[in-house]
Amino acid sequence: MRCLIIDDEPLALDLLEDNLKHVNTIQIVARCRNAGEAIIAMQKEQIDLIFSDIYMPGINGLQLIRSLTHKPMVIFVTAYEKFAVEGFELDVVDYLVKPVPLDRFLKACHKALDLYELRRSYVPQQPTSKNYFFLHADYNLVKINFDQVEYIEGLKDYIKVHLINQQKPVLSRISLKAIELQLPPDQFFRVHKSYLVNLDHVSQMRRARIKLINTEIPLSDGYRDVINRMIGKV
């Protein structure tokens, strides 16, 4: 895996380079002191992973990653904890706060390697043959089978995926609308602004409630056309 390291402090670049000597599957393609040098390097080389500081002269690390059309995987290595939320909103692999212990650094590298291998091994399938989806949860990619999902609850920028065989829901930073686009439209239905249900696990419906295997959730008149489609499918 080919990586780029970005930091305006030479000693920080040296430390990154020393740490990466412990990971023989990651190759440093270029050392960069600022965003401008990084952009030039990415125009010349194929980059799979970026290690980047945040505070730098000119364009900072967050602005650099936001500006990329084709974004490699990113691990932020910074002295500031306060940008962690903004960092993870950019869907980064990890966020490391200096000084970074070597074992913590290696853990982030292995996470990036796992994701890299997953992407390389992914073979697009026809929608009819796919029976699962992946979610980022607890710094991992979690595979979830469609038939195990009872319902999905939207919480602003997060969702809770409630599974029929697991008491604790899977929490992921993604919108309900975004996850809805990944689900089979003939199996999953939006019955409320905050809920998607798996029709396979619906047992009863009445005016304001819908009964599933383990719970009941609100049924909204605003989604009456969706409810009619559900009834038609039944």
pLDDT digits (tens, 9 = 90+) for 6-52: 999 999 999 999 999 999 999 999 999 999 999 999 989 999 999 99
Nearest to 87 by CA among 110, 99, 101, 71: 71
Flag whether 152 is in a domain: yes
Is residue 84 located within the same domain as residue 143?
A: no
Is residue 33 located within the same domain as residue 65?
A: yes
C-beta atoms surrounding 175 within 10 Å = 14
pLDDT digits (tens, 9 = 90+) for 137-193: 887 888 999 999 999 999 978 999 999 988 899 999 888 888 888 898 888 988 888
Question: Residue 193: exposed, middle, or buried by beta-carbon count in 10 A (0-12, 13-18, 19+)?
Answer: exposed
Number of structural domains in the chain: 2
Range of 148's domain?
132-233
Flag whether 204 is in a domain: yes
Is residue 77 located within the same domain as residue 148?
A: no
Flag whether 96 is in a domain: yes
Is residue 155 located within the same domain as residue 49?
A: no
Is residue 42 located within the same domain as residue 148?
A: no
Is residue 177 located within the same domain as residue 113?
A: no
Q: Can you tell me the distance from the alpha carbon of 93 to that of 76, in angstroms, rounded to the nearest whole number?
A: 8
Is residue 117 located within the same domain as residue 139?
A: no
Give me the DSSP letters along 34-76.
Answer: SHHHHHHHHHHS--SEEEE-S--SSS-HHHHHHH-SS--EEEE
The model's pTM: 0.54
